[in-house]
Amino acid sequence: MERNGVIELVGMEFLAFHGCLEEERRNGNLFVVDFRGTVDMAAAAESDDLSDTEDYGVLYGIIRDEMAKPSNLLEHVAGRIVRAVEERMPGFAEFSVTVSKKNPPVGGVCAWSKITMAGGASSPRNDL
């Protein structure tokens, strides 16, 4: 019997060097990533065995590794994370990744810019 549940990693903070401006690429900025994914938890609920679920540590490592690669656009960062999770953790039926950038250079007061991208086995495939 399928028993879907949600796995979330919220508030993952990274000093990263994403942005179109030279200053952003040189000095870096604070980025926060949130992940929310649906997965069948029936086996793990019975077995209490890590091999029957998606490993949070592996998930964090995927996100950390992608955040370490500079990009001009948050959309590109999120797209890489989505592709990597789909490739390495196919157990997620669907998931979303939100990448937030503190104090984006928009010419005025703005605490965060955020983008959210969806992925997973049941999501429409995009060539990101």
Active centre residues (catalytic): 101
Cα angle value 87/90/92 (rounded, 5°): 130
Please report, as a single letter, which amino acid is at residue 73.
Answer: L
| Spatial CB neighbours of 78, under 8 Å, sequence gap ≥ 6 | 97, 98, 99, 115, 116, 117
Helix (H, G, I), strand (E, B) or coil at 25: helix
